[in-house]
Structure 1
Amino acid sequence: MKKLIIIFLFIVSLFFGCSRVSDEVLLQAREAVKNGALIVDVRTPKEFKVKHIAGAINVPIAEIMKNNINLHKDKELVLYCRTGSRSSVSAKVLRKQGWKVYDVATQSDWERSVKLTR
């Protein structure tokens, strides 16, 4: 049953998980990184090797789905991938496992300019 739910979430995210992250979430994620959160690229090692955010670590979605990750739950995580689909699914799974997660969707979203509102 758990595998069916994960597969369903993955399929749904392929269609709806690619939306652009809000400026508010992006600013919160950037602040979290300043305070020690880990930037996690959930793509394959091959994709990660080609290009990734400076300082990011690679924890492929396949490892997250197997609950085969070696990260402390006291660390906040900032996730991204190529389109936002895999990061969306990974964020849902990791939140259920107890992590504080920010999903910034893509490297382009992470690097984009945002308007500061006060």
Structure 2
Amino acid sequence: MLLIIVAVALIAYITFNFFYQRKIMKQLTEEDFRAGYRKAQLIDVREPNEFDGGHILGARNIPLSQLRQRYKEIRPDQPVYFYCQNTVRSGRAAQMLKRKGYNNLHCLKGGFKGWTGKVKKK
């Protein structure tokens, strides 16, 4: 019985997070992302080794693991375009910034793994 309660609670939590992230962060197709990211703050929330392996031109690397300490590097008065490998970390980053008062939050639908544009590697 306890296992069923835990499973239901976990499913409810995951479902809530999914819909909450969709509410606070607009998921953009690659075409829409390309149209707006040059006028926004482009943030790659992947870890530095992932960023060094390839990233979108013009992106800044602020890993999700460091965002709590570094969020003030992101201006709240400008749009924020996030991406990660597949959108999970982007959603968490958006939740964190929303709690800090940021509102104009966007992410690349499908994440970096679906990106077909120019990539810079170190």
Q: TM-score range by the shorter chain?
A: 0.5 to 0.7
- Unmatched 5+ residue regions in structure 2? 1-9, 19-26, 118-122
Cα separation, partners in 2 of 1:84 and 1:73, compared to 1, 3 Å: same
Question: Separation in 1 of the partners of 2:85 and 2:59?
Answer: 14
Cα distance, 1:68 vs structure 2: 2.3
Q: 2:107 aligns with which of 99, 103, 108?
A: 103
Q: 1:68 aligns with which of 67, 70, 73?
A: 70
Aligned amino acid, residue 68 of structure 1: R
Q: Which residue of 2 aligns with 1:33?
A: 37
**Across the two proteins, how many residue pairs are aligned to each other?**
93
Higher helix share: 2
Bigger Cα displacement from structure 2, 68-77 vs 42-51: 68-77
Q: Does the 8 Å CA contact 2:41/2:80 hold for their aligned counterparts?
A: yes
Cα separation, partners in 2 of 1:92 and 1:110, compared to 1, 3 Å: farther
Q: Which has the larger radius of gyration?
A: 2
Cα distance, 1:54 vs structure 2: 1.0
SS of structure 1 residue aligned to 2:95: helix
Aligned amino acid, residue 53 of structure 2: V
Cα distance, 1:75 vs structure 2: 1.9
RMSD: 2.9
Question: Separation in 2 of the partners of 1:51 and 1:44?
Answer: 11
TM-score (norm 2): 0.61
Q: Which residue of 2 aligns with 1:52?
A: 55
- Unmatched 5+ residue regions in structure 1? 1-7, 17-23, 113-118
Cα distance, 1:86 vs structure 2: 0.7
